[in-house]
Chain A
Amino acid sequence: MGKTVEINPTTRHEGHTKLVLKVDDDGIVEKGNYLSVTPVRGFEKFLVGKPAEFAPIAVSRFCGICPIAHATSAVEAIEDACGIIPPKDGLLLRELTGLGNKMHSHPLHEFLVAPDFVPENDRVEYIKRIQQMRKTGQYIVDTIGGEAIHAPNIKVGGMAKNITPSAASKIFYKCKEFEKLAKEQVEYLVPIFENRMLVDGTEIPEKLGYHDFGYLATDATYGNRENIDQSKVIEYTPYDVYEKDVAVQACTTIPRYNGRLMEVGPRARFARFHDFKEKGAMAIHIARAYENVVHVKRAMEIIEELNVDGITRAKDPILGDGEKLGLGVHEAARGHNTHQASIDEKGRIKYYNAIVATTWNIPLIGKAVEGTHYKFAEHVVRAYDPCVSCATHMISLDYDNNVVDEKYFK
């Protein structure tokens, strides 16, 4: 007979989501749907007509977690639309700010999964390590970005200012400390994920989260629009993909690359740039743990490469032709994050679109829970570290083109 199991809300990630699962008599998921139920905000519409410089300020408020990732994607999109090329030192500092954001975000996720995987006896030391890593990530964002949360130094054309030699050496020193902690974290966490053992002694099925979809990543640490053919990205509506009763509840689009669902995030970056072949939910955790080390190594490279006397911002006017669709790609903590913008001759936004990392992962998470017992589904969700507020950007219409009743979003 089978039945439908709804897990609502899913927990210990960012944003409001639920799982709607069709399971067989043994509880095995036959059809998995993972849905954002976060209210729609309509950023892409209200940005139209606003000055281009307002976009990074506004999209920093998509949600409270990834302000740097969104501001970076926004300025990159506007620069592409306006033909502005930021100076090298500006780009290095911008990348370093983004690394700071990821160096905070990945350990935060490792904190959120601690109740699943970290025995009580180890937890104090584990969390101390995480807190120290998060502080360093935030130190970098605060120092280079100019403010702790909504970094005002991220500007169209580059970065508002360079850093002092003293700040550069402090960041380097803190990165050395972070590197040591990140390696300790790898040594601690990877065996736990390889053993697939929950803290209560439950063994996670070996193939939990396996899928045969693709991986999308444009750069190991920053983002590179040259590494993606955006014309192959098509966003489908929930009605194109889900059954009607599920589609009316969904408020994200379903993007595909070359017709295929794609995973984004740490494992996708590792598959693309580090020849990482592991599959399943635990492999995402493993890639994320290793990525902390990759991030800090790149941060130290940047400090060594940076000219603290260099120019950080191009002075070109922020004007477009109203036609060219600029593309900003940033490899955020949760993965490939794209913003697109066209800017008119007066410097105002004519069109704006964001396909954020979790938008890519949401439909794939639903598929990745299929084939195993539904009691493990939450562990697949959490492995992807979904951050949903920014992914939510469409309202479902019914067949008469009316907005579906608000109750479906709750």
Chain B
Amino acid sequence: MPGYLNKEILVLGCGNILFGDDGFGYHVINRLNELREEYPILNSEKIQLIDAGTGASHFILSLIDNETPLKKIVIADIIEYGLKPGELKRLTVKDLPNLSKYRVDAHDMPLAIMLREINDDFGIEIVVVGCQQKNVTAPDILLELSDDVSNSIEDAVKMIIEELN
């Protein structure tokens, strides 16, 4: 199996850096990589950080099965919960929307269903560190995060490190 599935904890930064605040996950992974010296746990053989972009469902989640030793997946992504822009929220699988099975478009599978199934089928703990978005520009391109979301990255990183300990 790919090396990243042979770990105990995956930290996935999800979203597209091209669409404003949708780049939150990417920036969180970058920041975690910068902090490897400060937080030795980030260098653990048991943990892998991945800039998953918009490919988590194809390249990671749909490859998980009974053979996968994963115990926990931590996802950094934006959320739309009507909170104050930049506000962080820790979600577990019970908080994820219970959407009906989605079979239409392999390109655009909502993660919530897959995460719920992974939890149900393989007992893998799911934690989403969600950040209330302010400005997602798709399909227009914007390479910068809003100040509100950008200012939340340090706190998001701390939340993720707590999840790893």
Asked if residues B51 and A149 are in contact (CB atoms below 8 Å), the reply is yes
Q: Which of B56-64, B71-79, B85-93, B150-158 faces chain A? A: B56-64
User: What is the bound-complex CA distance between A108 and B3, given in angstroms?
Assistant: 19
The contact of A149 among B3, B50, B104, B138, by CB within 8 Å, is B50
Given known A39-B138, A61-B17, A61-B18, contact A148–B2 (CB-CB < 8 A):
yes
Asked if residues B18 and A64 are in contact (CB atoms below 8 Å), the reply is no
Asked if residues A149 and B18 are in contact (CB atoms below 8 Å), the reply is no
A41: B residues at CB distance < 8 A: 18, 138-141
User: What is the bound-complex CA distance between A53 and B103, given in angstroms?
Assistant: 37
Asked if residues A389 and B55 are in contact (CB atoms below 8 Å), the reply is no
Given known A11-B105, A61-B16, contact A135–B63 (CB-CB < 8 A):
yes
Asked if residues A12 and B106 are in contact (CB atoms below 8 Å), the reply is yes
B4 at the interface (CB under 8 A from A): yes
B135 at the interface (CB under 8 A from A): no
A15: B residues at CB distance < 8 A: 105, 107-108
User: What is the bound-complex CA distance between A148 and B12, given in angstroms?
Assistant: 11
Asked if residues A39 and B139 are in contact (CB atoms below 8 Å), the reply is yes
Asked if residues B2 and A63 are in contact (CB atoms below 8 Å), the reply is no
Within 8 A of B (CB), among A122-157: 131, 134-135, 138-139, 141-143, 147-150
A13: B residues at CB distance < 8 A: 105-107
Chain A, residues 97-133, CB within 8 Å of chain B (1/0): the string is: 0000000100010001000000000000000000100
Given known A134-B63, A148-B60, A149-B52, contact A9–B104 (CB-CB < 8 A):
yes
Asked if residues A67 and B138 are in contact (CB atoms below 8 Å), the reply is no
Given known A142-B2, A147-B50, contact A64–B57 (CB-CB < 8 A):
yes
Asked if residues B3 and A112 are in contact (CB atoms below 8 Å), the reply is no
A135: B residues at CB distance < 8 A: 1-2, 5, 63
A148: B residues at CB distance < 8 A: 2, 4, 50, 52, 55, 59-60
A58 at the interface (CB under 8 A from B): yes
Asked if residues A14 and B106 are in contact (CB atoms below 8 Å), the reply is yes
Chain B, residues 40-74, CB within 8 Å of chain A (1/0): the string is: 00000000001111111111100101000000000
Within 8 A of A (CB), among B95-113: 103-108
Given known A15-B107, A41-B18, A147-B50, contact A108–B4 (CB-CB < 8 A):
no
Main SS class of interface, B = loop
Q: How many chain A residues have a CB neighbour from B under 8 Å?
A: 38
User: What is the bound-complex CA distance between A41 and B57, given in angstroms?
Assistant: 22
Asked if residues A58 and B58 are in contact (CB atoms below 8 Å), the reply is no
A273 at the interface (CB under 8 A from B): no
User: What is the bound-complex CA distance between A131 and B63, given in angstroms?
Assistant: 6
The contact of A61 among B2, B53, B58, B140, by CB within 8 Å, is B53
User: What is the bound-complex CA distance between A18 and B2, given in angstroms?
Assistant: 35
A388: B residues at CB distance < 8 A: 107
B51: A residues at CB distance < 8 A: 147, 149-150
A188 at the interface (CB under 8 A from B): no
Given known A14-B106, A64-B53, contact A108–B58 (CB-CB < 8 A):
yes
Asked if residues A387 and B4 are in contact (CB atoms below 8 Å), the reply is no
Cβ contacts A to B, 23 pairs, < 8 Å: A9-B104, A12-B106, A13-B105, A14-B105, A15-B105, A16-B107, A40-B139, A41-B18, A42-B141, A46-B141, A58-B18, A61-B17, A61-B54, A63-B54, A65-B107, A67-B55, A112-B106, A139-B1, A142-B3, A142-B4, A148-B50, A149-B51, A387-B107
The 5 A-B pairs at the shortest CB distance, nearest first, are namely A64-B54, A39-B139, A14-B107, A64-B55, A138-B2
A binding-site residues for B, Cβ under 8 Å = 9, 11-16, 39-43, 46, 58, 60-61, 63-65, 67, 104, 108, 112, 131, 134-135, 138-139, 141-143, 147-150, 387-389
